Structure 1
Amino acid sequence: MKSLYHRIAALLVLSIVSVVGLATFVASRVLEPPDAHDILAPVVSQMRLTLALVETDPAKAATAGARLDNRLPDGQPHARLSEALVEMLAADDIHLPSEVIKTSETPPMMAAVRTPDGAWAVFRIPHRAPPSDWLYILGGWMLLIVLGSLAISFFIASKITRPLELLEGAAESIGKDGLLPPIPEKGSREVRATARALNRLSSRLRSALESRMRLVAAAGHDLRTPMTRMRLRAEFISGDDERAKWLSDLEELDSIADSAIGLVREETSDSGPELIRLDIMVRLITEELAKLGFAIELSSAADATVPAQPMALKRALRNLVINAATHGGGGRWRLETTAKDAVLTIEDGGPGIPEDLLGQVFEPFFRVDPARRKTAPGAGLGLAIAKEIVNRFGGDIDIANRPAGGLVQTVRLPLSA
């Protein structure tokens, strides 16, 4: 976004400076030069006085500063000013030869009128040349234009990119639940319209998510009644093998229903996080699962306190370690800490997962058929729920194959400040 902001500002600066420069160039070419009568008016007055002194007392004329030469100054005649000079002198009833000469001296133009005795009275025409420090003045003028252009351009660029910045900020503020927080509807009309549209989008997403959760919860809950009836009927099946198959399938359906309801419960929970001693929780889970017959071993547990919801985090860790014990032939885990995170590593000795299927392990109902090394229909949402819980508390889960065989599950949770 900053790059777009700077590009817009640079484009505006270039446009303003180009327009001002072009306008200045055109004005310098279009504007007419100063009027000849305005230029020569003071010179004609001086000529009248000098001619009067020359006729009455030539010595006083020389003393007054009149320059009398026997010839015209060296240079080229200036046609326009010469014509104007003759016209202005004729208006004063002075009909003497006169000329305006462009010279190489300073000032660059001289006006001359021939006196009755044949000499030329020469006068300097005032020349308004640029000041000697004109380069500094021009530089200051251009700097003023550029600075003004920068101020205006950055202000306009900020107004143009404000809705885009709002979109960027909204995208970055999306929570773990995929929803946008409410955005204040204030500022310019465009900003208010953008904030209003984002708030409507967030409201619709929230409604859709809640509707999906209600549907999943209702489906999981409604499954319980027919499954109970089926379980009662299965008890009356005469064959032990057939009855065992029915009961196994019912247990799988029950697991799916529990997982669906659990997913809804975890995603709709509003309870805030608490400070939890993760090392104590890990030890309690190990003892609890060992009593239930799971092959779980805790090698080490460093002291670690993390912000989380106790029941949700315990459920997630139980799911992960039970997977290692059930599908990996026994699990071993350890708890370590870094400067910022608590790192829980769970290893097993199972067959592992094909590398091309590792990206699917957190999908609902994912399971790998160990015999065929490919995906097979699974039951439950254990890993999906576990990842959702850990992500909600600012952590992450990574699963990879061990070089020696089996899987390693790595859980990272931020330590409390």
Structure 2
Amino acid sequence: MRTLRAQVTAILVVAVLVVIALANGASFFIARPNWPPFGSRGSATAILDAVALATAVPPDAQVPILRASPPSGMIDEMETQRLAEALARLGQPHPVRAVLPPGGEPRVTAVGLPDGRWLILSGTGMPTPPPGPPGGAMGFAVWLAFMILGVTGVVILAVHRLTRPLALVEEAARRIGPDGELPVLPERGPTEVRAAAAAINRLSARLKASMDSRMRIVAGAAHDLRTPLTRMRLRAEFIPDEEERGQWLSDLAELDRIADSAIRLVREEVEGGTLETVRIDRLAADVAMELKEIGLDVALLAGVPAYVAGRPLSLKRAVRNLAVNAATHGASLGGGARLAVSADAERVVLVIEDDGPGIPEALMGQVFEPFFRVDPARQVKIPGAGLGLAIANEIIGRHGGRLTLSNRPGGGLLQRVELPVAEAGQGADD
């Protein structure tokens, strides 16, 4: 009942049923103004008129409705009391009995006269109630059920047609892929649905054009930096002071890393291609071995056969970035990086932890922003452009996974990668 469609349907069904009930009640009272009887005054007056006429009849007259005793049968106590109270309110409390004769005959009313005789009247003088619905209570229940089902069905169809544009927007949002692009919707159906689909398609096209333009600008700027950096590196080689030359070459190397990282980030955002079955535990082992060869302390502590669908080079780049991040920061405090791979029926989990300084909790929400560094003054003690986590997060997100970071209770950072298990199970990698 939390969806707009369910709420509108419930409101309309209740409103229609209330209107039907009020209309049926109004028509019932208009067709039968004398029902139900709201008092017994009319009935008591009619009885008193009959008593006045019967009193004038001589005692020795043979009149069928005048008897020496009331008729036999079961007495209707409720009706008898009602008639007695009505006669008492009119100031003439005659003895009265409402009798149900044996044999299923109609009910009669017996009224005692002052001379001891009893006046026998058919019925009670009350208006006859209207006939009930065909089939009694069961027939009424069936009629009510059909009416509720019919009204509900019509309302559901009407609300479904009215809310189709909203459902179209919801479906488009659900179908947004890891690359953030909106799907192209078919522009068919009623006018409102076609208008909603056309608006979503225009929005998708404009967003894609804006993202492509941004990517081209970043890639072009990073690429154009390569030429002046190369010229500056050549000039720096001719600086006679060795210490100053080393500082120039170090700064130029950092600029080169920034440009290279920017190009890689753009490439990950626009890269496509077919997916392959990748064995993550072997990929993590390869990364650990490569980083060990260049002097970084990286170890694979645990690994089980785990398969994901993805692009091997991109996944390897993401794992390498995370492992380098852990190894370099862990080395600053005399530690290293430790990798572990586990898997269940639905997901593959890669955990990378280190013994470094961690990340302040206040900055944890900014770690995936491009060029993010914990040190706001950018006093770079550890080489890097601040794009490693951004690139890794982009790659993992495009593979339908999730990257989360948290500080370890004993110190250091824990990087957790979750990826969906490949549907095909073992692949050609075996």
* Residue of structure 1 equivalent to 2:426: none
Select 2:412's aligned residue among 398, 406, 413.
Answer: 406
Contact 1:252 1:379 in 2 (8 A): yes
Separation in structure 1 between the aligned mates of residue 27 and residue 11 of structure 2, nearest angstrom: 24
Instruction: State the AA in 2 paired with 1:277.
Output: R
Please report how far the alpha carbon of residue 177 of structure 1 lies from its aligned counterpart in structure 2 after TM superposition: 1.7
Select 1:366's aligned residue among 362, 372, 375.
Answer: 372
- Map residues 92-171 of structure 1 onto 2, 5 A cutoff: 129-131=130-132, 134-171=136-173
* Residue of structure 2 equivalent to 1:39: none
Please report how far the alpha carbon of residue 383 of structure 1 lies from its aligned counterpart in structure 2 after TM superposition: 0.6
Separation in structure 2 between the aligned mates of residue 378 and residue 294 of structure 1, nearest angstrom: 15
Contact 1:368 1:375 in 2 (8 A): no
Superposition TM-score, scaled by structure 1 size = 0.73
Please report how far the alpha carbon of residue 2 of structure 1 lies from its aligned counterpart in structure 2 after TM superposition: 6.0
Question: What is the CA deviation profile of residues 297-354 of structure 1, one whole-angstrom value per residue up to 9, with x for unaligned ones?
Answer: 2223222221110111111111111111222212222222233222222122222222
- Map residues 4-19 of structure 1 onto 2, 5 A cutoff: 4-19=4-19
- Map residues 392-403 of structure 1 onto 2, 5 A cutoff: 392-403=398-409
Contact 1:368 1:376 in 2 (8 A): no
Instruction: State the AA in 2 paired with 1:24.
Output: N
Instruction: State the AA in 2 paired with 1:275.
Output: T
3-state SS in 2 of match to 1:409: strand
* Residue of structure 1 equivalent to 2:43: none
| Distance change (3 Å), C-alpha of 1:238 and 1:357 | same
Instruction: State the AA in 1 paired with 2:131.
Output: P
3-state SS in 2 of match to 1:332: strand
Select 1:228's aligned residue among 230, 237, 241.
Answer: 230
Matched, 1:310 2:312: yes
* Residue of structure 1 equivalent to 2:355: 349
| Distance change (3 Å), C-alpha of 1:365 and 1:128 | closer
Select 2:241's aligned residue among 219, 239, 242.
Answer: 239
Please report how far the alpha carbon of residue 186 of structure 1 lies from its aligned counterpart in structure 2 after TM superposition: 2.5
Question: What is the CA deviation profile of residues 153-173 of structure 1, one whole-angstrom value per residue up to 9, with x for unaligned ones?
Answer: 111121122222222222222
* Residue of structure 2 equivalent to 1:385: 391
Q: Which runs of 5+ in 1 are unaligned?
A: 35-68, 74-103, 109-123
Contact 1:255 1:380 in 2 (8 A): no
Instruction: Name the structure with the higher helix share.
Output: 1
3-state SS in 1 of match to 2:374: strand
Superposition TM-score, scaled by structure 2 size = 0.70
Please report how far the alpha carbon of residue 261 of structure 1 lies from its aligned counterpart in structure 2 after TM superposition: 0.8
Select 1:324's aligned residue among 323, 326, 339.
Answer: 326
Contact 2:373 2:386 in 1 (8 A): no
**What is the aligned-residue identity percentage?**
49
Select 2:293's aligned residue among 291, 294, 313.
Answer: 291
Contact 1:369 1:376 in 2 (8 A): no
Instruction: State the AA in 2 paired with 1:240.
Output: E
Please report how far the alpha carbon of residue 385 of structure 1 lies from its aligned counterpart in structure 2 after TM superposition: 0.6
| Distance change (3 Å), C-alpha of 1:375 and 1:207 | farther
Please report how far the alpha carbon of residue 71 of structure 1 lies from its aligned counterpart in structure 2 after TM superposition: 9.3
Contact 2:254 2:384 in 1 (8 A): no
3-state SS in 2 of match to 1:397: strand
Instruction: State the AA in 1 paired with 2:209.
Output: S
3-state SS in 2 of match to 1:352: coil
3-state SS in 2 of match to 1:385: helix
Instruction: State the AA in 1 paired with 2:419.
Output: L
Q: How many residue pairs align between the two structures?
A: 341
Please report how far the alpha carbon of residue 202 of structure 1 lies from its aligned counterpart in structure 2 after TM superposition: 1.0
Deviates more, 1:220-229 or 1:368-377: 368-377
3-state SS in 2 of match to 1:180: coil
Question: What is the CA deviation profile of residues 351-387 of structure 1, one whole-angstrom value per residue up to 9, with x for unaligned ones?
Answer: 2222222222222111223999999997241110101
Select 2:188's aligned residue among 166, 175, 186.
Answer: 186
3-state SS in 2 of match to 1:306: strand
Select 2:209's aligned residue among 194, 204, 207.
Answer: 207
Deviates more, 1:216-225 or 1:128-137: 128-137
Q: Which runs of 5+ in 2 are unaligned?
A: 35-61, 67-98, 108-122, 424-430
Question: What is the CA deviation profile of residues 13-59 of structure 1, one whole-angstrom value per residue up to 9, with x for unaligned ones?
Answer: 1222222222223333445889xxxxxxxxxxxxxxxxxxxxxxxxx
3-state SS in 1 of match to 2:348: strand
Select 1:280's aligned residue among 282, 291, 312.
Answer: 282
Separation in structure 2 between the aligned mates of residue 29 and residue 391 of structure 1, nearest angstrom: 69
3-state SS in 2 of match to 1:369: coil
Separation in structure 2 between the aligned mates of residue 373 and residue 359 of structure 1, nearest angstrom: 21
Contact 1:166 1:191 in 2 (8 A): yes
